[in-house]
A and B are shown apart, each in its own frame.
Chain A
Amino acid sequence: MRAVAGRSRGGTTRRGALFGGLCLCCLPTLGRSAEGFAMDEVGPGIFIRRGPDAEATPENNDAIANTGFIVGERSVLVTESGGSRADGAWLRAEIGRRTDKPISHVMLTHVHPDHCFGAAAFAEDKPVYVGHHALRAALDARGEYYRGRLAEILGADRAGSVVYPTLEVADGADIDLGGRVLRVTAHGVAHTNCDLSMRDSASGILFPADLLFVTRIPSLDGSLVGWLKEAEVLKAMGAAKAVPGHGPTLVDFAPAMDDLTRYLTTLRDETRKAVAADVPIEKAIQTVGRAERDRWVLFDTYHGRNVTQAFKELEWE
């Protein structure tokens, strides 16, 4: 299932619209605050909010990733913190409307702002902030830069601040919420260098975070070769259903992962071919992976950069 059917092939119109802060695919949600989002109960005690396939704007609070929470017998785990303090505060209020149980854990699935800038909103719950062992260094390198850019769009108050993990996962970790255990995996360099995934023992649902994009074009910020390797690690877990970092709140895991690996494989193979044939990077950006164009939202915004990243990585092979 793809959300891009019927969009203009012209590109120019679409790009123009995007640059104006408008995104055709999510026009109906424009002007609505995060409060307008609904939460889907995708499994017993698992509530997920679908982030729109859009860019951060002053109107959407950077609430563009899939966030949510899991309720155990004893406490609540936040699956993704949100894209800003405002987005995190919205999620925290949603949790309060549904359960009195304390928030014990907040997942910081990787360094990107649309996933970790909601963390500050949970400070008074004093949760365990769970992150990859490489997240701290990544936040050191990028956090202030992200915060500044986000503050320019949302204002400093709504943007939030950099929050460090208090539980640094080196390899794996089990989080017991009572009646259900979340098995957390720290992955090798893939989407970023600090990706976490987790699996819920009660429902069997996999939470690959941004190791799985659905409908929204994947963004490559770690290692292309590494991501394909970690895709195999995820597949080997054998989950039937997954909550992707972006896209619908619950998907059949295998076909969704196949779409992602097809995109990444195409990017890898065509970029390698370009490098081998001495195609210069500026030409590769225009020619690699074009067959994927109608399969992803925001293709024109991100694909060229993905090719740039891929080229930088593969030209040293």
Chain B
Amino acid sequence: MIRPLAKPVANRTVLFRSILAALTLAVPLATAGAALVPGPVHAAGASDDEAERLARWKEIQKSIFGDKTITATDSLVKVDAPVRALDASLVPITLTMPEKDRVAAVHLIIDDNPSPYAAHIAFGPGADAGEIKLRVRVNNYTNIHAVVETRDGQLFETTKFVKASGGCSAPMGMSDEEAMKGMGDMKLKFAEAQPGRPVEATLMIRHPNFSGMQMNQVTRDYTPARYINKVAITRGDKTVLTLDGDISISSNPVINFGLQPGGQGPIKVVASDNQNGRWEHSFTAPSATN
């Protein structure tokens, strides 16, 4: 079952101010020609102690999962991310789930982002749930949590600490207009298929994924949040996966996933955003013989 994602709080200006206050000095220019690196001062997140981080996670956990027990795991899910992000607006994340047949869904949470619940991916029978890759924005030094939902309804979590800042408020391109170009275009690429092995696929979607935190100087206003909130991938009559997304997903979202071997029929992708944008594309998948 897919739960609604936590949304950014209603008053964006207040939210933005509080984020700015939290960022203090060590905020490099995420998109500048010359990043500004101040002296030996750390972002607020860097000086948070473990207790504060844990308290924040407990709060987020409660808002998403209620009172359900979540057990720490080293084996069911692993998060790979750069320790220090070079580009806070595009941080590549890999989720590995070795016991893939037990996995029903995975949740990705970036604790210190303004809207922490980044993505929820539910796997269908057409998917190979062994690995998922996403590109996300990271707004502060933060823990990134992955929570796996097993087929028997249990929850398991693991975490990874990432140093990055400014990913959500960093302006993305030079103009909003440019960022909107080709919105909804898609590409689906496949790694070379080997008989009997899962097929690795890469879905690319043109979409600005405006976070709602990028300011326009003229209007002194923020470009309204416009982001992909659902991607449904099916193959033939089988569901591959359903992704619920949020503003933490980088612009022009790219997601890598696995297809079960032996699947039949074209792959259909339906993407929609929070402003009623809807795009549908169909792709021919490579058919590995025997």
Chain A interface residues (CB < 8 Å from chain B): 18-21, 55-58, 62, 64-65, 83, 110-115, 134, 137-146, 148-150, 152-153, 162, 191-194, 210, 219, 221, 278, 280-282, 285, 301-302, 304-305, 308-309, 312, 315-316
Contact = CB atoms under 8 A, between A and B. Distances in A.
Nearest to B93: A282
B284 to A, nearest CB: 18
A278 B189 contact: yes
B220 to A, nearest CB: 8
B173 A153 contact: no
Contacts of B34: 55-56, 62, 64-65, 83, 112-114, 219
Given A278-B202, A281-B92, A142 B38 contact: no
Contact of B174 (A56, A114, A194): A194
Contacts of A144: 215, 217
A285 B90 CA distance: 12
A280 B174 contact: no
Contacts, number: 143
Contact of A308 (B37, B40, B87, B171): B87
Interface string B186-201: 0101010000000010
Given A113-B36, A114-B34, A141 B20 contact: no
A210 B33 contact: yes
Nearest to B88: A305
Interface stretch (B24-32, B58-66, B263-271): B24-32
Nearest to A216: B34
B127 to A, nearest CB: 18
Contacts of A140: 175, 216-218
Nearest to B223: A141
Interface of B is mostly: loop
Contacts of B280: none
Nearest to A309: B87
Given A19-B37, A280-B92, A139 B252 contact: no
Interface string B202-216: 101010000000111
Interface residues of B, number: 51
Interface in B4-24: 20, 23-24
A280 B256 contact: yes
B24 A142 contact: no
Given A280-B92, A315-B204, A145 B174 contact: no
A142 B204 contact: no
B86 A305 contact: yes
Nearest to B179: A141
22 contacts: A21-B40, A55-B34, A55-B36, A56-B34, A56-B35, A57-B39, A83-B34, A113-B32, A114-B32, A141-B171, A141-B173, A142-B174, A144-B217, A145-B214, A146-B32, A152-B36, A162-B217, A221-B33, A278-B200, A278-B202, A282-B92, A315-B204
B36 A153 contact: yes
B133 interface: yes
A145 B212 CA distance: 14
